[in-house]
Amino acid sequence: MIRVVLPTHLRRLAQVDGEVQLQVEAPITQASVLDALEASYPALRGTIRDHGTLRRRPFVRFFACEEDLSHEPADAPLPEDVVTGREPFVVVGAMAGG
Amino acid sequence: MSRVRVLVGTRKGAFVLTADGKRDRWDVSGPHFPGWEIYHVNASPADPDRLYASQSSGWFGQVLQRSDDGGVTWQPVGNEFAYDGVPDTHQWYDGTQHPWEFARVWHLEPSLTDPDTVYAGVEDAALFRSQDGGKTWRELSGLRTHTTGPSWQPGAGGLCLHTIVLDPTRPERIVVAISAAGAFRSDDGGTTWQPINRGLRSQGIPDPDAQVGHCVHRLAMHPSRPDVLFMQKHWDVMRTDDSGDSWREVSGDLPTDFGFAIDVHAHEPETIYVVPIKSDSEHFPPDGKLRVYRSRTGGNDWEALTSGLPQQDCYVNVLRDAMAVDDLDSCGIYFGTTGGQVYASADAGDTWAPIVRDLPAVLSVEVQTLP
């Protein structure tokens, strides 16, 4: 299972507590994880990446294994520890604003 | 006894304020969607339990919420606002052309007859409609693709379509207002549009009486006289008696004719309300006194309404969508401030009291009169 940590606002929108666990078909990439996330929680469509382009929204970041993966290609494989569920894929709302 | 439900959108969530017809004791529910900007919450005139809310954030974009039980519970519906075809360009702040980009929904206007039909005014300026309760949205692109579209330019708040007026007697007639393009009217259900800005004069644009380019802040209409529209422009309070074919100024003896909000008494079509703001560079009331001005003559002659409102050291603003009226026999008037107060008057503006004092900055206020 792939573990996904969402920021507070998106947990409320998806009506989930804590981590989300997803069954994702290989290859495990940003795109496949986000596809599975949005399929399970349609309310999240458009909030992490744009509807049409599927580009990451500017103030959203993706972290895993103490690395910022935000600028990695969407179809690049995620770290093995994310694939095995040892580490979560973390969606972050960038620190900004008031 | 009738009840009222006040729907308040703020910078950090939505609030629902309810009272019986006396309007002196209030229950406050919220924040709904805490932390999100709620530009507008509005109710269907055809089904008072059907509410729509525009929820947005700089991080996570636009979400549309719907309630089928009067705001007790909500569910997210469709949030995909795709411009029809390949978006053209409009004028940018620096004079260059800039592609239309969706930013947020400013205003939601449910159909007068069908709870599942709702219009959305968005930034960058366009009009969308849903006919399935908000699940899917389709642009009425005849407005954005009007021949004047490339000359529209954003005001300081963005190129936003912020006002939608539906005609209760002619279902095919829609009037909208855009900052800073002006007012537009469709007589065929939103397929084709014409600018309706004749008579407006704006000193801040190269041609003061241009066909488009005016920073209209808000329009208001009384349902018994849909040909009469009142306008709070950037500067100037205006009225038309011919559905916007011609406008005339009715600022009269206002202390300043800059402002954002304007509304009409529920039972007196010639009684209108504005909140004068000092200037476009000083967005607060003149002299630190929060005063609503009422005209019982459809403009020109105004009286200050001050009882119960702060008359010293008050430097809040009242935004364009933040004033509304109820339908009770003694018409109630409501407005919210950027300081987080929501004021109510149960006697048509003669006296005021705060319902709440310390909400986040208020972006919008709507009122439902319930049986």
Q: In the prediction, which pLDDT does A96 show?
A: 67
Nearest chain A Cα to B60, which residue?
Answer: A47
Q: In the prediction, which pLDDT does B95 show?
A: 86
Which residues of chain A are at the B interface, by a Cβ-Cβ cutoff of 8 Å? 7-10, 12-13, 43, 45-48, 50-52, 57, 59-60, 93-94, 96-97
Residue A43 to residue B36, Cβ atoms within 8 A: no
Q: What is the pLDDT of residues A2-38, one digit of tens each?
A: 999 999 999 999 999 999 999 999 999 999 999 999 9
> Given the structure tokens 């009286």, which residue do they identify?
B303
Distances in Å between the Cα of B369 and the Cα atoms of A31, B41, B329 are 47, 15, 11
Q: In the prediction, which pLDDT does A97 show?
A: 57
By Cβ distance, the residue of A46, A52, A57 closest to B59 is A57
What's the token pair of residue B194? 């014409």
Q: In the prediction, which pLDDT does B78 show?
A: 97
By Cβ distance, the residue of B33, B34, B61 closest to A47 is B61
For residue B275, the tally of other CB atoms under 10 A from its CB is 25
Instruction: Indicate the residue type of B190.
Output: G
Question: Chain A within 8 Å of B85 (Cβ-Cβ)?
Answer: no
Residue B79 to residue A45, Cβ atoms within 8 A: yes
Residue A46 to residue B82, Cβ atoms within 8 A: no
Res A98 pLDDT > 60: no
Chain B nearest C-alpha distance from A18 (Å): 18
Residues of B in contact with A14 (CB under 8 A): none
What's the token pair of residue B289? 């006194």
Chain A nearest C-alpha distance from B79 (Å): 7
Please say whether the beta carbons of A57 and A48 come within 8 A. yes
> Given the structure tokens 């969308």, which residue do they identify?
B128
Residue A9 to residue B58, Cβ atoms within 8 A: no
By Cβ distance, the residue of A43, A50, A94 closest to B59 is A94
Q: In the prediction, which pLDDT does B156 show?
A: 86
Q: What is the mean pLDDT of each run of 10 residues along chain B (371 residues)?
A: 95 98 96 97 98 97 98 97 92 91 97 98 98 98 96 92 98 97 98 98 93 97 98 98 98 98 98 97 97 98 98 98 97 98 98 98 98 92
B290 exposure class (CB count in 10 Å sphere: 0-12, 13-18, 19+): buried
Nearest chain B Cα to A53, which residue?
Answer: B82
Question: Chain A within 8 Å of B302 (Cβ-Cβ)?
Answer: no
Residue B61 to residue A43, Cβ atoms within 8 A: no
Residues of A in contact with B80 (CB under 8 A): 45-46, 51
Chain A nearest C-alpha distance from B334 (Å): 28
Residue A8 to residue B63, Cβ atoms within 8 A: no
For chain A, give the mean pLDDT. 95
Chain A nearest C-alpha distance from B30 (Å): 15
Question: How confident is residue A94, by pLDDT bands cut at 50, 70 and 90?
Answer: confident
By Cβ distance, the residue of B58, B61, B79 closest to A97 is B58
Q: In the prediction, which pLDDT does B87 show?
A: 83
Q: In the prediction, which pLDDT does B299 show?
A: 98
What's the token pair of residue B21? 């017809």
Q: In the prediction, which pLDDT does B364 show?
A: 98
Q: In the prediction, which pLDDT does B157 show?
A: 87
pTM comes to 0.97
Nearest residue to A10 via CA among A68, A77, A62, A83: A62
B332 exposure class (CB count in 10 Å sphere: 0-12, 13-18, 19+): buried
Residue B59 to residue A51, Cβ atoms within 8 A: no
Residue A9 to residue B57, Cβ atoms within 8 A: yes
Residue B79 to residue A46, Cβ atoms within 8 A: yes
